[in-house]
Homo-oligomer: A and B are copies of this chain.
Amino acid sequence: MSNRKECCRSLSQWLAPDTFKALAEPSRAALLIHMAGNDGPHTVSSLATHLPVDMSVVSRHLRVLREVGVIKAEKHGKEVRLHLDCGDLIRMLRNLADALESCCPPDVCSVKETS
């Protein structure tokens, strides 16, 4: 079925290892959750106070998140202000969900109700 092959291409397109790897780290997830739940402005040091790790570690985590495009950074004087920018991520998640849904035969991969 060409539909299967079509969805297969979609899957490889949206199943982005780098993004998932970025989200898979507990500290990075905590950073995202904190930024989502608290209004900014967020800086590297302010974020570091909420995590039990060194600021340099937070800096590196933020870099990873920036590289996959989940957060954006802009310099304001000597501090860096960070904010979520999860539009692409949201689109990616939904596209991946759609691709999976059109791939998986419903009898095998039950989307509705608890299987």
Contacts and interface: CB of A to CB of B under 8 A. Distances in A.
A111 to B, nearest CB: 5
Interface string A15-38: 101101101111001001100111
A11 B38 CA distance: 13
Interface string A93-108: 1101100110110001
Interface residues of A, number: 44
A24 B26 contact: no
A111 B87 CA distance: 4
A94 B111 CA distance: 11
A77 to B, nearest CB: 20
A5 interface: yes
A83 interface: yes
Nearest to A7: B36
A7 B38 CA distance: 11
